[in-house]
Each structure stands twice: as C-alpha cells, then as structure tokens.
Chain A
Amino acid sequence: MLLLLPLVASVVAAARHLIGFRGFGLLIPMAIAFTFVATGIGTGVLVFLTILTIATLSRRVLRKLRLHYLPRMALFLWFVSLGILGLIFVSPYLGLGQLTAISIFPIVILILLAEEFIDVQIGKSLREAARLTIETIVIALIGYVIFKLKFLRELALSYPQLVVLMPLILNLFVGRFTGLRLIEYWRFRKILR
C-alpha cells in the first residue's frame, strides 16, 4: 500500500496534465481514494456526497450570519459532523448496515477535507464546482482501482523496484509535457477545426 501511494499520486498528476482533470488538488483525491478503500466504494461515494451537500448547504446558511472566518469554519464543521452522525444513525434503516461497522477514521478525514472543498468552491460558479467534484470522484475512483488491483499489489510485493521506478519515469515525462491536454482539444475545437 505504501509503495502504491506515490503511484496514485502520479496518476493524479497525469490526470491533470495529460487529460486535464483538475479535481481538488493532489491531497484530496488521494485521501478520498484511500477512504474508498477503507469504506468500500458505495458507502465511500455516499459519505463523500453527503458531506459535500451538507457543506454546500451550510455554507449558504452561514453566509447569512455575521461571523468571523474561523468561528464560521468551526460551525461549518459542526454541521458536517452532525450530518454524518445523522447518516450513521439512519443507515441501518436505509439498508446500509456496513456504515456503522467501518472505522471512523477515514470518515473523519473526509469531514476535515470539507473545509478544503469550500475553499476551492469560493469564487467559482456552481457549475464549475460541480465539475470539479465529478472530476475529483473520477480521479479518486481510478486511485481506488490502483489500490485495489490485485495485479499491482502482487507486482509491488514481488518486484518493488518496478513500482518504485514507475512514478519517477511517469512524473519526469508528465512534468515536462507541454502539449495540449485531452480536454483542451475539446475546449479549443472551434479553433482546431
């Protein structure tokens, strides 16, 4: 798992520079991928989307109150934590029994990341924020697959040098790539025509 971590980071980097998926930076997609591994995919996405919804809604509410920045952020975490607690309480009735069974730690990571989401959202339209979120989930899912892939896990165990070298080569290439990103071919299609 430790060996695969840089690989996932490289994939996030490649997703940005070759494909054009921006997502929420490097840390957030990786942490989400990691929590997906811990919680399972369905629950992970559910928890992530719940946090995001509560975060966005509570931001709207809190904007109306006149509060200093840090107290506002603290209250905001209060909303998110209570929301997740609520979700855990109702999960058995929704047939999501496994939510109570999983460790609280990955969920705490997700909650703490909520502040970052909001920071990223500030100054962007709803559409832009939604796009970023979807891209983040897609990247996290790719990361999840890498973490989970049996072949890669075995590779990391039997030929660790390969898995160690791969990120080095990949990042040296991606880091110097000056061509158009995949998404930019679409973005500038009218000029390309």
Chain B
Amino acid sequence: MLAKADYILGANARSLDYLKPLNKKKGRRIANSKLLTKKYLIKAGLPTPELLAVFKTAKDIEEFDWLSLPDNFVLKPASGMGGGGVIIIKKKAKWAGEWYLMDDSIITIADLRFWVLDIMAGRYSLHNLPDWAMVEERIKIAEVFRKYAYQGTPDIRVIVFNKIPVMAMLRLPTAQSKGRANLHQGAIGVGIDIATGITTHGICQGRSLKYIPGTKRKVNGLKLPHWNKILTLAVMAQEAVPSLGFVGVDIVFDKKHGPAILELNSQPGLEIQNANNSPLKRRLERVTGLVVKDVEQGVRIAKTLFAERFADRVMAEEGVKIVNAWETIKIRTADKEKAEVRAKIDTGAWRTSIDRGLARELGLLRSDNVLWSKLYKSGLGEERREVIGLTFYLAGRKIETIASVAERAHLRAPVIIGRKDLSGFLVKPNR
C-alpha cells in the first residue's frame, strides 16, 4: 500500500478537521455517558446489552438486592474511560452472594459495594468527577471468537462518517490487556475488509501480528458473521445520535442475541489505520459531501469504495494476465446473468465507465445499485452522471468495482475499463 502522508489521519487533523466541527457538545455528552448512549440507542430501536441496575446515590447501594442479579453480569462506571473500572462476573460461586470473576477468583457482595462506591467517587471518570455505576448483562462470547479472545469479549469498532462506515477493526482481548478490548491496554487490533467482513491484518502494541500469541491461529482470514448487519447497525447508531458526525461505534457479538451496540466513542483512536494497513483520511475525503439517502446506501457505498484489493495476492497465485486493447467481457446483470460486451481497455482513464443505455438494459441503473450521482460540467454543458456498482469478468478474472455512467452510444466501445481495475493485468497495445 503506497500512501502519502496527506492520506493518513493524524491526531492534529482528527481534532481540528473532524472532531471539532462534527462532534457537537451534545453528542460528546451522550457518548461519554454509557447510560445516555443506551437511552438514545434504545429510542432508535437498536439492540444494546440489557441494563440491570443503576447506582446514582449511596441509598441505591443500600437498597439494592444483589441476589436478584442473574448468574453473570458486568459492573461498570457510566463514564469510564479505556475500559477502566469494569468488573466482569463469570458465574455464581458456591455460596449465595459470591461470584467468580473471569480469572476464577472470587468476589463478594462487600467487594462489589465497595467497587460501586469507588466508581461513584469518580475514580474512573475523567477528572475524577462523581459518576454513576451501572450493571449490565454480560455478553457471552460467540463461538467464532472463542479461540481468538482471552477471557474477555471481543468487539468490532466501526468508524462512521457521513452515514458511511469508512473503516472497521476487530479488537481481541489478550492476557496482557486483562480481557479488555482496548488497544492501549495491549489488545489485538485486526483490520477488516469492509466489503466482505474478512479480517486482513493484525497488530498488537504497534507491531504486526500474524498469529494469536501462543497459538498457531492466524488473525487474518476470519469471516465475521452478520457482517452486513454490523455495518447497518453502526450507521444506524450514527443516525440515532446525529450530533456525532465522526464516531467510533463499538459492536459486540452475543452468542444468542447476535450483534448489539456496546458504546459510542466521540474520539475514535487512530491505530485502526495500522490494523487495516490503510490511511483513513483518504477514505474520509472520498466520501465527504456525498449525499447519503439511507442506511442501505451508506453501507453499499462503503462496500464498493473500500473493498480490499486482493489483486496482489491473485497476481502472486495466477501470475500476470495479458489482455488486448479490445476485449470481450462478461457483465453480471441485475438478474445475475452474464452479458457479453465489447470493452476497450483504456489505461488513460482511471475509473471504468459504461454507456447509459447499456447499463439500463442490464438493469444496473436500478436505484439499489446506484451509489451516488454527481453533476459534471463538460464541453456539452451540465450532465448528471451516476456511479454504479459493477461486477464483470475480464480474461476469466472476476472484478467487483464501481463504474461511472456516461452517454457512450455514439462511441465505438460501450464500456471502457480504467486503470483502477487493471492491477494484475498487462495490456498488449497493438491489438
């Protein structure tokens, strides 16, 4: 991946260009309090871990019946940072009023009460301001993650900007992070291909990582279940709190209930770029100003724009393919059939382009396939051009990409294929 420094989002640009103008005070307040976040998410009908109890005053602690809690739960500060002050209860111990923690040590009601007092005194909140404590159901680790995570529950961080999920990362707790899914504490961050939900590349403490420590298990190549739902939830979370324009959505995965939104982060970390081996600012700039009508469109744009190019790997496996200047390609139509079309390989163009009439004929102009449209000013006056999702086969290789729609009826080739989709090919110019 070749990238200029301008493409990377640094802490300065994050704060001046994105956080300050986009994340309003109200939004930050919501994100900082897990209780408020929950309220807004529930109002929008989004799944969150069930709230079992809230402690606001000392009286709440005295009156609370700890024995009414289920076998396992999580006690945490409402405004904690970086996973501090969180106690995860694994199951009931032998006696009533005693529980096992994740590392099988025992905790009692007295310990828990004290912990709640600590939280309320502000031990884990920003500037030690008084805080509230809350008890939530514990998310049970889904089977796919069982062999990947140490003690705690992994979560998926999705950065949403302009209703588009621009980048995502799977966070796996380790022994060093004491079961917390926080990269600063030593958790593993694994980049995720937005298009497929397959993990790509792992990092831990700033270093690349191929295997889960102590195992032979590769971090890449894991396909996350319900990927579409995860992206959809992330975008819906931003819609629920519009005062956050640039937000990190943390999604957990329960064994039974599936994905749920754990919390929102109004100041998402930058390490996600290393996990994905991809610069974030470039992605943000590509979707700035796009008008996104609904959640589905936002997810669709992200999937087409930010799809990982596996071309390099394909090239290594199959070798470079040679194509002629004119090729017959097969385009996948809306009805999942293949239509043969003559195409010109045009290394002078960046993006692939397709004739409007042909695109309409193949059903590719249906509104669920149009990603966005832009007004172009050309010599012929103003022209509206749609950008659509396109899947075609060139020299036996399947290419999923985006294409702009143009009036090409009067030209020799109804389709031209641009440089963007030609990695792994060599072009023979004379034929």
Contacts and interface: CB of A to CB of B under 8 A. Distances in A.
Interface of A: 17, 20, 66, 68-70, 119, 122-125, 127-128, 176-181, 184-185, 187-188, 190-193
Contact of A176 (B8, B16, B185): B16
Interface string B115-138: 001100111100010000000000
Given A68-B117, A125-B185, A185 B5 contact: yes
B114 A180 contact: no
11 contacts: A68-B117, A69-B122, A69-B123, A122-B123, A177-B12, A178-B17, A179-B12, A191-B1, A191-B3, A191-B277, A191-B279
Given A123-B81, A123-B184, A128-B184, 15 more contacts: A20-B11, A68-B117, A68-B118, A69-B121, A119-B128, A125-B186, A178-B17, A179-B10, A179-B13, A184-B10, A188-B8, A191-B3, A191-B274, A191-B279, A193-B1
Contact of B206 (A68, A177, A187): A187
A178 B121 contact: no
A167 to B, nearest CB: 19
B333 interface: no
Contacts of A128: 184
B12 A17 contact: yes
Nearest to A73: B128
Interface in B87-127: 114, 117-118, 121-124
A192 B118 CA distance: 44
Contacts of A122: 84, 123-124
Given A119-B128, A125-B185, A193 B2 contact: yes
Contacts of A68: 117-118, 121
B33 interface: no
B273 interface: yes
Nearest to B208: A190
Interface of B: 1-5, 7-8, 10-13, 16-17, 81-84, 114, 117-118, 121-124, 128, 176, 184-186, 205-206, 208, 270, 273-274, 277-279
Contacts of A17: 12
Contacts, number: 78
A54 B12 CA distance: 35
Given A20-B11, A125-B186, A69 B128 contact: yes
Nearest to A185: B5
Contacts of A179: 5, 10, 12-13
A181 B84 contact: no
A192 B273 CA distance: 11
B12 A181 contact: yes
> In terms of DSSP, what is the predominant structure of the interface of chain B?
loop
Nearest to B110: A66
A191 B17 CA distance: 21
A188 B11 CA distance: 12
Nearest to A22: B11
Contacts of B12: 17, 177-181
* The 8 A-B residue pairs with the shortest CB-CB distance in the complex, in nearest-first order: A69-B121, A123-B84, A180-B10, A178-B13, A123-B82, A184-B10, A178-B12, A188-B8
Given A69-B118, A122-B124, A178-B17, A188 B274 contact: yes
Nearest to B282: A191
Nearest to A119: B128
Contact of A190 (B5, B16, B83, B277): B277
B256 to A, nearest CB: 31
B278 A191 contact: yes
A127 B184 CA distance: 10
Contacts of B4: 192
Contacts of A20: 11
B306 to A, nearest CB: 15
Residue picked from A20, A68, A192, most chain B C-beta under 10 Å: A192
A17 B13 CA distance: 10
Interface centre among B2, B12, B186 (most CB of A within 10 A): B12
A179 B95 CA distance: 58
B11 A184 contact: yes
B279 A188 contact: yes
A153 to B, nearest CB: 32
B93 to A, nearest CB: 20
A188 B82 CA distance: 22
**Most chain-A CB neighbours within 10 Å: which of B13, B17, B122, B176?**
B13
A31 B185 CA distance: 29
B166 to A, nearest CB: 15
A181 B184 contact: no
Contacts of B273: 188, 191
B184 A124 contact: yes
A190 B200 CA distance: 15
Contacts of A70: 121
A125 B184 contact: yes
A185 B186 CA distance: 21
B128 to A, nearest CB: 7
B10 A181 contact: yes
A192 B8 contact: yes
